[in-house]
């Protein structure tokens, strides 16, 4: 016991939760990822102590049932590996639908400090885009949008409006999950990370509150990006700085 | 035949239910085949929640064995929780498999694995959601063959009207033989329809087709006889025994769930069968003879199973793991191989002796120390003779003292309540025994900071055991004894504080007893309970004793019997038991003699180390004990220094 090998390399990973596996909860993913590390024989480093834990840290995880193209984590390794090989090995070790998309050696600074907003895609099958657009307009025009949610502390009400920096009905096609027959309203949403967290669900509740929008079937939500929100409203990929540090693109 | 995926409809419901991940499949080890490229298609069901059913070894083994056949497809289905059941009914979504989300009714066979009778009501839910008629007689050529296996199928009579067939014993070879029969029947153009297929299954003499047998009753309610109602099926149906476990090293590719389940480990059976002869233990009686898997096959399975799954825990399973002829070398070899890898090894189901502590020490070399559990089962020397659990109090004290002085701070002790001939004093002695354990443990450990947990369950007499004739004890008597035991434990406050006490009420055991030893008349009770909302009877939060009592009172008097008749009534030697036409290999006269020996507190030895005592299994089933030692050792593993990158 004790005497765990030190961390010699840290690697940041972007991964996706797709299709049916979007129903994987964060705890489920964490267990699957630890098994994948063992399957792929990744030389993961462990914490010291009586029950050593693998060195994995997660950026804020998408809610259960929400798909994502932009989940992030960082691992600490006790031996150096080639990031491209790591990507291939880990992706093969995870179920299809939990897909490893990028692996980049960590540069300076922390991943968490580079993430303060997310872009979400909301697909509302059987909702007329014009109706959705009207609801979005009411949402944007409201001074505050009080929504309710069950939390561990019980039912609480908070304002969903200030965290939303962008919301619009789009005409997008070729979506990651584009399986819905028309009509289907598609909403592009950017939300800042705040406390208490405002989630896409809360924005959908907000649309009901301000405009009575009630999708007849559960909307499908996908996180498209996470990162730093620029004053222009763009989201900067949190791995850009790491790539720059190793002279990447 | 259609075999489209129902996932698009199901997907709309999943955001509305708890733990949707359990319904989406996608596990490592899961197999999805092209429907049209296969001939024989099985839906395998473990009739409980996914979290319990997924780790089930039996289902995993059959799933893999079947899918290895090129023209056979096997998918899995589990009991859905009431929240999803309600939505499926509302939206017309049928019972589905988790692999490719196909409707269960589209398969050739629905194979149900019953480890316990408490899954019966969940079978009804699944059949009903699948739109398969509940009763065998109402099914047509478009319906799957509903087939039961697992330990409960050694008396499938309570669900006989709802099954098309049942297999007794080991399933590996049976599922292949059944697939072969279906393959051939289909190739011939399905001659004679469903009835002919069932007849072909019955003619194997090891597949029970209940509809080909009639049960006659005596005026007093007892069974007069169970006989074939056609000339071409056997009088008795024999169990299956897979010999040479080294030839069947499954699971090779264990299913690794995304959802949280009751066991997160790679489990390998180190042997099957047990001849210790505990008289309450159905598993030990119906799985004879002992067949060991060799140390080298176990080593190979563990290596490949861990590499495939990424699990960090290995369970070495059997009915009495320390009895493997090479258990010492196996444990030290595996501990050596996985030293410094954060893989933990566990050895459940072990006997009460100090040798176990050596094994546990060996296995915990990695630093992870699993709990120690011992099962004296009975509190008094006398009752342990009745049940043939040959453990003395000195054995137990010596064992726990060794454990406490080797650094364990906690041991668990398992007991049963409601055993034949049991008195209040037999149960009270459990408390006194626990006191002695704590006293001896404190002295050995040199600290007061040690604990033991007494866990006590209700005894249920099971078919094909010497206790198949025994009367059950009434729930109110059980509950009174359990309460009295609590008082005994707490009669000394200092000792009582160090003893945890866990027990189950007597009521569920009585119902399990009804289902275990019931006959075809009990089927109407189960159906009534299900119609009244009975689901997940193995879960205390879903089980309703009142619902069972009411259904029994409603249905059974029509047959001139009642709940007591099935449970608390002692049977005599001449009585035809509902499962007498189902052959576990055990000689009924031998079982009766063992029951008589039990009543005179006479113990029976283990035939592994002593001469055969003529239980009847080996000659009647043409099997024999297969044990080592092989003399082989586990070799050190080559450490992996590179990423496993797929080619």
Average confidence (pLDDT) over B588-610: 94
Residues from chain B that touch A21, judged by Cβ atoms under 8 A, are: 24, 26, 258
Given an 8 Å threshold on Cβ–Cβ distance, is A32 in contact with B258?
yes
- Looking at the partner chain, which of A24, A36, A217 has a beta carbon nearest the beta carbon of B12? A217
Q: Closest Cα partner for B6 from B118, B105, B139, B73?
A: B105
Calculate the CA A138 to chain-centre distance.
Answer: 27
- Look up tokens 């009686």; give the residue: B285
Residue A175 has pLDDT above 90, yes or no: no
Residue A176 has pLDDT above 50, yes or no: no
Residue A173 has pLDDT above 50, yes or no: no
Please name the helix (run of DSSP H) or strand (run of DSSP E) that holds residue B159, with its range, or none: none
Q: Which residues of B438-453 are buried (b: 16+ CB within 10 A; e: fewer)?
A: bebbbebbeeeebbbb
Q: Is A18 on the interface with B (CB under 8 A)?
A: no
Provide the pLDDT for residue B368.
Answer: 64
Q: What is the 3-state secondary structure (H, E, C) of chain A?
A: CCCCCCCCEEEEEEEEECHHHHHCCHHHHHHHHHHHHHHCCCCECECCCCCCCECEEECCCCCCCCEEEEEEEEEEECCCCCHHHHHHHHHHHCCCCEEEEEEEECCCCCCHHHCCEEEEEEEEECCCHHHHHHHHHHHHHCCCCEEEEEECCEEEEEECCCCEEEEEEECCCCCCCCCCCCCEEEEEEEEECCCCCCCHHHHHHHHHHHHCCCCCCCCEEEEEEEEEECCCCCEECCCHHHHHHCCCC
Provide the pLDDT for residue A182.
Answer: 63
Share of chain B above pLDDT 70, in %: 99
Given an 8 Å threshold on Cβ–Cβ distance, is A64 in contact with B21?
yes
Better pLDDT: A108 or B472? B472
Domain residue spans in chain B?
Answer: 7-218
Average confidence (pLDDT) over B90-102: 98
Residue A203 has pLDDT above 90, yes or no: yes
The alpha carbon dihedral of A103, A104, A110, A112 has a sign of: negative
Domain residue spans in chain A?
Answer: 9-106, 114-229
| Vertex B145: Cα angle to B142 and B148 (nearest 5) | 155
Taking CA–CA distances from A66, the nearest residue in chain B reads B15
How do beta strands A98-105 and A154-159 pair? Answer: unpaired
| Vertex B588: Cα angle to B587 and B593 (nearest 5) | 100
> What DSSP designation does B144 have?
P
pTM score above 0.90:
yes
Q: Is B20 on the interface with A (CB under 8 A)?
A: yes
Q: Which fold has domain A114-229?
A: Alpha-Beta Plaits (3.30.70)
Average confidence (pLDDT) over B397-419: 92
Average confidence (pLDDT) over B382-411: 92
Give the CATH number of domain B7-218. 3.40.50.280
Query: What is the band of A174 on the pLDDT scale with cuts at 50, 70, 90?
Result: very low
Q: Residue B173, exposed/middle/buried by CB under 10 A (0-12, 13-18, 19+)? A: middle
Share of chain A above pLDDT 90, in %: 81
Interval B50-77: pLDDT, tens: 999 999 999 999 999 999 999 999 999 9
Report phi then psi at B270, rounded to 5: -90, -25
Residue B18 has pLDDT above 90, yes or no: yes
Provide the pLDDT for residue B2.
Answer: 56
Q: Is A41 on the interface with B (CB under 8 A)?
A: yes
Residues from chain A that touch B21, judged by Cβ atoms under 8 A, are: 23-25, 28, 64
Mutate to test the interface with A, among B264, B645, B647 (most CBs of A within 10 A): B645
Cα radius of gyration (chain A): 20
- Looking at the partner chain, which of B26, B310, B311 has a beta carbon nearest the beta carbon of A97? B26
Q: Is B647 on the interface with A (CB under 8 A)?
A: no
In this structure, the number of other CB atoms found within 10 A of the CB of residue A74 comes to: 19
Strand order in the sheet with B165-167: B72-78, B40-46, B109-113, B145-149, B165-167, B207-208
- Looking at the partner chain, which of A23, A35, A85 has a beta carbon nearest the beta carbon of B14? A23
Distance CA B339, CA B362 (A): 11
Mind telling me how many Å the CA of B309 is from chain A's nearest CA?
Answer: 7
Interval B475-507: pLDDT, tens: 999 999 999 999 999 999 999 999 999 999 899
Query: What ranges make up the beta strands (E) of B517-588?
Result: 582-583
Residue A80 has pLDDT above 80, yes or no: yes
Query: What is the band of B442 on the pLDDT scale with cuts at 50, 70, 90?
Result: very high
- Looking at the partner chain, which of B19, B256, B640 has a beta carbon nearest the beta carbon of A35? B256
- Looking at the partner chain, which of B310, B368, B642 has a beta carbon nearest the beta carbon of A39? B310
Interval B159-213: pLDDT, tens: 999 999 999 999 999 999 999 999 999 999 999 999 999 999 999 999 999 999 9
Distance CA B507, CA A95 (A): 43
Provide the pLDDT for residue A60.
Answer: 86
Q: In this structure, are residues B445 and B554 in contact, taking their beta carbons and an 8 Å threshold? A: no
Collapsed DSSP state (helix, strand, coil) of residue B445: helix
Residues from chain A that touch B19, judged by Cβ atoms under 8 A, are: 25
Whole-complex ipTM: 0.92
> What DSSP designation does B270 have?
S
Taking CA–CA distances from B340, the nearest residue in chain A reads A1
Mind telling me how many Å the CA of A81 is from chain B's nearest CA?
Answer: 8
Average confidence (pLDDT) over B285-297: 97
Rounded (10°) angle between helices B523-531 and B120-129: 60
Residues from chain A that touch B23, judged by Cβ atoms under 8 A, are: 23
Residues from chain A that touch B260, judged by Cβ atoms under 8 A, are: 27-28, 31
Better pLDDT: A31 or B613? A31
Range in A29-33, A173-177, B277-281 the model is least confident about: A173-177
Provide the pLDDT for residue B576.
Answer: 98
Mind telling me how many Å the CA of A227 is from chain B's nearest CA?
Answer: 27
Mind telling me how many Å the CA of B451 is from chain A's nearest CA?
Answer: 21
Residues from chain B that touch A179, judged by Cβ atoms under 8 A, are: 8
Given an 8 Å threshold on Cβ–Cβ distance, is A42 in contact with B310?
no
Q: Is B309 on the interface with A (CB under 8 A)?
A: yes
Q: Is A23 on the interface with B (CB under 8 A)?
A: yes
In this structure, the number of other CB atoms found within 10 A of the CB of residue B611 comes to: 7
Q: Is A78 on the interface with B (CB under 8 A)?
A: no
Interval B214-243: pLDDT, tens: 999 999 999 999 999 999 999 999 999 999
Average confidence (pLDDT) over B359-373: 77
Distance CA A187, CA A131 (A): 12
Q: Closest Cα partner for B583 from B296, B155, B200, B193?
A: B155
Distance CA B76, CA B54 (A): 9
Average confidence (pLDDT) over B402-415: 91
Mutate to test the interface with B, among A4, A5, A32 (most CBs of B within 10 A): A32
Distance CA A191, CA A205 (A): 14
Q: Is B264 on the interface with A (CB under 8 A)?
A: yes
- Looking at the partner chain, which of B26, B307, B308 has a beta carbon nearest the beta carbon of A21? B26
Cα radius of gyration (chain B): 25
Encoded tokens for A241: 């700085």
Q: CATH for A9-106, among 3.30.70.20, 3.40.50.1220, 3.30.70.580, 3.40.50.360?
A: 3.30.70.580
Residues from chain B that touch A24, judged by Cβ atoms under 8 A, are: 21, 258
Average confidence (pLDDT) over B37-56: 98
Range in A132-136, A137-141, A187-191, B349-353 the model is least confident about: B349-353
């Amino acid at each position: 016991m004790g005497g765990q090998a030190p961390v010699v390399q840290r690697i940041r990973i972007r991964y996706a939760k797709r299709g049916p596996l979007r129903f994987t909860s964060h705890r489920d993913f964490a267990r699957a990822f630890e098994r994948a590390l063992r399957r792929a024989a990744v030389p993961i480093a462990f914490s010291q102590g009586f029950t050593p834990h693998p060195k994995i840290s997660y950026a804020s995880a998408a809610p259960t049932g929400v798909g994502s193209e932009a989940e992030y984590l960082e691992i600490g390794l006790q031996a150096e590996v080639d990031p491209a090989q790591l990507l291939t090995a880990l992706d093969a070790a995870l179920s299809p639908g939990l897909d490893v998309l990028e692996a980049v050696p960590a540069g300076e600074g922390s991943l968490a400090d580079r993430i303060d907003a997310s872009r979400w895609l909301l697909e509302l099958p059987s909702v007329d885009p014009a109706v959705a657009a009207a609801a979005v307009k009411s949402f944007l025009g409201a001074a505050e949008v009080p929504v309710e949610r069950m939390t561990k502390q019980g039912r609480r009400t908070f304002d969903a409006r200030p965290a939303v920096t962008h919301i619009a009905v789009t005409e997008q096609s070729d979506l990651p999950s584009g399986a819905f027959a028309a009509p289907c309203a598609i909403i592009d949403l950017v939300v800042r990370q705040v406390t208490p967290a405002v989630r896409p669900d809360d924005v959908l509740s907000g649309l009901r509150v301000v405009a009575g929008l009630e999708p007849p079937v559960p909307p499908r939500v996908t996180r498209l990006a996470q990162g730093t929100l620029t004053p222009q409203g763009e989201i900067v990929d949190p791995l850009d700085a790491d790539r720059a540090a190793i002279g990447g693109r | 035949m259609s075999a489209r995926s129902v996932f698009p409809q199901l997907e709309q419901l999943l955001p509305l239910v708890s733990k949707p991940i359990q319904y989406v499949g996608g596990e490592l080890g899961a197999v999805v085949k092209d429907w049209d490229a296969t001939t024989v298609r099985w839906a395998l069901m473990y009739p409980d929640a996914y979290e319990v059913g997924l780790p089930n070894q039996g289902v995993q083994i059959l799933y893999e064995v079947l899918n290895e056949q090129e023209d056979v497809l096997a998918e899995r289905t589990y009991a859905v929780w009431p929240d999803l059941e309600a939505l499926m009914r509302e939206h017309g979504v049928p019972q589905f498999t988790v692999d490719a989300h196909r409707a269960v009714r589209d398969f050739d066979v629905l194979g149900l694995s019953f480890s316990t009778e408490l899954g019966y009501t969940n079978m009804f839910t699944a059949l009903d959601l699948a739109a398969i008629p509940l009763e065998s007689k109402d099914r047509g050529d478009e319906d799957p063959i509903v087939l039961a296996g697992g330990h409960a199928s050694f008396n499938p009579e309570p669900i006989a009207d709802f099954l098309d067939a049942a297999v007794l014993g080991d399933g590996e070879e049976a599922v292949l033989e059944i697939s072969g029969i279906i393959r051939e029947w289909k190739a011939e153009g399905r001659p004679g329809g469903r009835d002919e297929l069932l007849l072909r299954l019955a003619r194997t003499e090891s597949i029970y087709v209940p509809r080909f047998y009639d049960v006659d009753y005596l005026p007093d309610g007892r069974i007069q006889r169970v006989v074939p109602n056609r000339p071409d099926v056997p009088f008795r149906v024999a169990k299956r025994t897979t010999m040479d476990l080294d030839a069947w090293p499954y699971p090779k590719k264990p299913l690794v769930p995304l959802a949280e389940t009751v066991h997160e480990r790679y489990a390998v059976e180190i042997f099957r069968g047990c001849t210790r002869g505990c008289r309450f233990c159905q598993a030990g009686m119906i799985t004879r003879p002992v067949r060991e898997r060799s140390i080298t096959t176990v080593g190979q399975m563990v290596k490949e199973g861990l590499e495939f799954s990424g699990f960090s825990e290995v369970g070495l399973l059997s009915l009495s793991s320390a009895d493997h002829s090479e258990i010492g070398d196996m444990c030290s070899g595996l501990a050596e191989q996985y030293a410094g890898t954060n893989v933990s090894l566990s050895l459940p189901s072990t006997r009460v002796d100090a040798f176990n502590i050596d094994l546990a020490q060996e296995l915990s070399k990695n630093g992870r120390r699993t709990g120690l559990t011992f099962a004296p089962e009975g509190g008094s020397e006398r009752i342990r003779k009745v049940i043939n659990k040959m453990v003395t109090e000195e054995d137990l004290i010596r064992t726990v003292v060794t454990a406490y002085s080797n650094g364990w701070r906690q041991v668990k002790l398992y007991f049963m309540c409601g055993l034949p001939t049991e008195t209040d004093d037999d149960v009270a002695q459990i408390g006194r025994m626990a006191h002695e354990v704590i006293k001896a443990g404190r002295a050995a450990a040199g600290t007061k900071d040690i604990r033991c947990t007494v866990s006590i369950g209700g005894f249920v007499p099971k078919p094909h055991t010497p206790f198949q004739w025994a009367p059950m004890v009434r729930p109110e008597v059980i509950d009174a004894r359990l309460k009295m035991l609590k008082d005994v434990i707490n009669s000394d406050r200092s000792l009582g504080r160090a003893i945890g006490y866990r027990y189950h009420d007597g009521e569920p055991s009585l119902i399990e007893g009804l289902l275990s030893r019931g006959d075809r008349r009990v089927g109407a009770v189960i159906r009534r309970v299900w119609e009244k909302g009975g689901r997940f009877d193995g879960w205390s939060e879903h089980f309703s004793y009142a619902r069972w009592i009411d259904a029994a009172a409603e249905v059974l008097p029509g047959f001139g019997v009642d709940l007591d008749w099935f449970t608390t009534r002692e049977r005599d030697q001449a009585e035809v038991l509902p499962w007498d036409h189902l052959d576990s290999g055990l000689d009924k006269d031998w079982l009766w003699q063992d029951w008589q020996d039990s009543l005179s507190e006479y113990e029976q030895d283990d035939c592994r180390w002593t001469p055969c005592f003529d239980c009847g299994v080996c000659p009647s089933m043409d099997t024999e004990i297969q044990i080592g030692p092989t003399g082989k050792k586990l070799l050190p593993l080559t450490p992996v220094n590179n990423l496993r990158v797929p080619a």
